[in-house]
Structure 1
Amino acid sequence: MNPTLDQMHEARTALDSPLFEGLRGDIDVSFEFFPPKTEKMAQTLWESVDTLAPLGPRFVSVTYGAGGSTRERTHEQVVRIQQEAGIPAAAHLTCVAATKEEVNEVARHYWDEGIRHIVALRGDPPDGGGHYTPHPGGYANAVELIAGLKEVAPFEISVAAYPEVHPDSPDAQADLDNLKRKFDAGATRAITQFFFDPQCFFEFRDKAAKAGIEGEIVPGIMPVMSFAAVQRMAGLCGTAIPHWMEGLFDGLDERPAARQLVSATIAAELCRRLYAGGVRQFHFYTLNRAELSYAICHMLGMRAKEQAA
């Protein structure tokens, strides 16, 4: 197979500069957290927020559990981050286990609290498995949810995208058509599911452009905290794991510091190759741990705003 122009440009740019030399930090980043279940987890979350805030993220988002199981905790953390940390915060909101009016009421409450950004998702079944079935009287899918949210208030809306195809989609074209409908309904940007092959993202970005999608498509980056956990998540969302990755984490289960170094190296190299291919926006799935994401941003040339000043 002949290399594409994107591949050749990425390879040339990556090889011409040693490691991360010369990267100017001219990127925009955002970070994703999940709502804590315990006081100790809440402390870890806020330590992460404090660590990442000086990088000046354009927003941070807080996830929403399957079936709306973390609705109150999501709301609490989103509002607190925006009000106390001074970072634009986005709340995840799904269609699952709620009527349209119940979802709209949550959205109105966010707007009244000063939240202007929603991550609008179809959502997963409450049991975490099985076939998705729309709630009676609820929004059937993300496209309907986006249109409904736009009627509630002029929210900025981020949506999900799947470079390796959503597990429920019949094929790649149907998945791309659905993404186009999300943008047509009012989405501002799409954030991708995590992936490990930069060419997968480049090809998806090109196909989206050919499909008439003009909105921003931001790569979602998942630093690997646990290889076993990433295997489980990848299996659920259809992400391919490179054959070489398991060997790099082999033997590190009881060596967390070494595992973090390996994880940061893999994710930073993925970001470097994306950067070499023209990407300037990144979204990090932090798993409420800041150091890996901070290290990767640092290697991409970002510095704390007060330090840069």
Structure 2
Amino acid sequence: MSPPSLIETHPNLSGTAPVALSYELFPPRSPKAAESLWTTIGELEATDPDYVSVTYGASGSNRDTAVELINRLLLETTLRPLAHLTCVGNTPQELAEIIGELLDHGVRGILALRGDQPKDGGEQAKGSLRYAQDLIELIRRVEQRRSALLCAGKVAVGVAAYPTKHPESPSEAHDIEVLLAKQRSGADFAITQVFFRTEQYADLITRARRAGVTIPIVPGVMPLTSVRRLKRLGELTGVEPVPELLEQLASADTEAERLRIGVRATVDLANAALDAGAPGLHLYTFNEHAHALEVLDKLALPRPARSISRLNAIARRQVLAS
């Protein structure tokens, strides 16, 4: 019998892992929106997140503005972009070109998504990819062809996970099987879609781990401060917001009271996920920083110690932007 390895005899060599922090942004739709977004980016950069994700419109409808935003993040900030990429409506050749372009610009993280089906019910282009699993495999093939160019930074591939049943899925069990298939195809981590009840993340983790999913599953949390946004997301995702929270928000006498109620509910949701073992927290910002930072301020996240030079670089950028 072989003696135990060094790793086996010292299971806690690296101590407790810090909690990852990330935000979601979307490309601006106008010059005014761009100005507001860059104010938000400056505020979020000061919290030194591990990455920021940049959304990608259906069938690449905002590809140019998404790539432009990613380039500016790489060139003008200390932030690390995670590029969203959807496959519905695109051929492997088109997607391989986009993936190569992202890698050439310095992107080292891609969130591989299926994307929304055409709303008009029309036929997809011949040869189009149909599932996120196909996109993951394509990313890995493109990465393999460029392996010598990526020696200083391989590609991390993320996917979506669903704490509640996907609107098009026959069951929650099917959603877990899909997540397991994505892992087998090469996914490194998952970020959940929005959820509104404190037990939903823990339930997802239990079901996923029992099925053999081992990749990190990061809870995606939105500030629960807007009745309109909560209702709209409920319609889009098929996930019903908590009626009691909607009622409390709607009956608040002042905006300050509404903010207090929403932030408290968001912090409770995030803490429940962290208590269930969440490896990080992904905040859906809707390109607004104030409420996200209010939530972050109330959370005692154990964050990694950053070098003084990196923190000084962030501080200098804050001064230049002011």
Question: TM class, shorter-chain normalised?
Answer: 0.7 to 0.9
* Shift of residue 188, structure 1, vs aligned partner: 0.9
1:37-52 counterparts in 2 under 5 A?
Answer: 37-52=29-44
Q: Supply the distance in 1 between the matched residues of 2:273 and 2:305 (Cα, whole angstroms).
A: 27
- Which residue of structure 2 lines up, in the alignment, with residue 277 of structure 1? 276
* Shift of residue 308, structure 1, vs aligned partner: 11
Match of residue 136, structure 1, among 121, 126, 142: 126
**Unpaired segments ≥5 residues, structure 1:** 1-23
- Which residue of structure 2 lines up, in the alignment, with residue 189 of structure 1? 189
- Which residue of structure 2 lines up, in the alignment, with residue 17 of structure 1? none
Q: Supply the distance in 1 between the matched residues of 2:17 and 2:289 (Cα, whole angstroms).
A: 18
- Which residue of structure 2 lines up, in the alignment, with residue 53 of structure 1? 45
Change (3 A) 1:30 1:307: closer
- Which residue of structure 1 lines up, in the alignment, with residue 27 of structure 2? 35
SS in 2 for 1:215: coil
CA shift digits 1:73-108 (9 cap, x unpaired): 111111211221111101110012221111110110
1:202-217 counterparts in 2 under 5 A?
Answer: 202-217=202-217
TM-score by length of 1: 0.84
Q: Supply the distance in 1 between the matched residues of 2:307 and 2:239 (Cα, whole angstroms).
A: 36
1:245-256 counterparts in 2 under 5 A?
Answer: 245-251=245-251, 256=255
SS in 2 for 1:244: helix
Q: Supply the distance in 1 between the matched residues of 2:204 and 2:181 (Cα, whole angstroms).
A: 16
Change (3 A) 1:291 1:118: same
- Which residue of structure 2 lines up, in the alignment, with residue 8 of structure 1? none
* Shift of residue 57, structure 1, vs aligned partner: 1.0
- Which residue of structure 1 lines up, in the alignment, with residue 318 of structure 2? none
User: Structure 1 stretches (4+) deviating beyond 6 angstroms?
Assistant: 303-309
Change (3 A) 1:227 1:132: farther
* Shift of residue 275, structure 1, vs aligned partner: 2.5
How many residues of Structure 1 are paired with residues of Structure 2 in the alignment?
283
Q: Supply the distance in 1 between the matched residues of 2:102 and 2:285 (Cα, whole angstroms).
A: 23
Q: What is the CA RMSD across the aligned residues, in angstroms?
A: 2.5
SS in 2 for 1:119: strand
* Shift of residue 68, structure 1, vs aligned partner: 1.6
Structure with the larger RCO, 1 or 2 (CA within 8 Å, 6+ apart): 1
CA shift digits 1:212-235 (9 cap, x unpaired): 110000111011353122212222
- Which residue of structure 2 lines up, in the alignment, with residue 98 of structure 1? 90
Q: Supply the distance in 2 between the matched residues of 1:102 and 1:47 (Cα, whole angstroms).
A: 33
CA shift digits 1:45-95 (9 cap, x unpaired): 111111111222111011111232111111111121122111110111001
Q: Conserved in 2, the CA contact under 8 Å of 1:125 and 1:132?
A: no
1:131-170 counterparts in 2 under 5 A?
Answer: 134-153=124-143, 154-170=154-170
Q: Supply the distance in 2 between the matched residues of 1:246 and 1:82 (Cα, whole angstroms).
A: 39
SS in 1 for 2:85: strand
* Percentage of matched positions with identical amino acids: 32
Q: Conserved in 2, the CA contact under 8 Å of 1:28 and 1:281?
A: yes
- Which residue of structure 2 lines up, in the alignment, with residue 4 of structure 1? none
Change (3 A) 1:305 1:210: closer
Q: What letter is aligned with 1:145?
A: L
* Shift of residue 122, structure 1, vs aligned partner: 0.2
Q: Conserved in 2, the CA contact under 8 Å of 1:61 and 1:78?
A: no
Q: What letter is aligned with 2:212?
A: G
- Which residue of structure 2 lines up, in the alignment, with residue 16 of structure 1? none
**Unpaired segments ≥5 residues, structure 2:** 1-15, 144-153, 309-322
Change (3 A) 1:123 1:45: same
Q: Conserved in 2, the CA contact under 8 Å of 1:95 and 1:142?
A: yes
Change (3 A) 1:203 1:109: same
- Which residue of structure 2 lines up, in the alignment, with residue 292 of structure 1? 291
Q: What letter is aligned with 1:76?
A: E
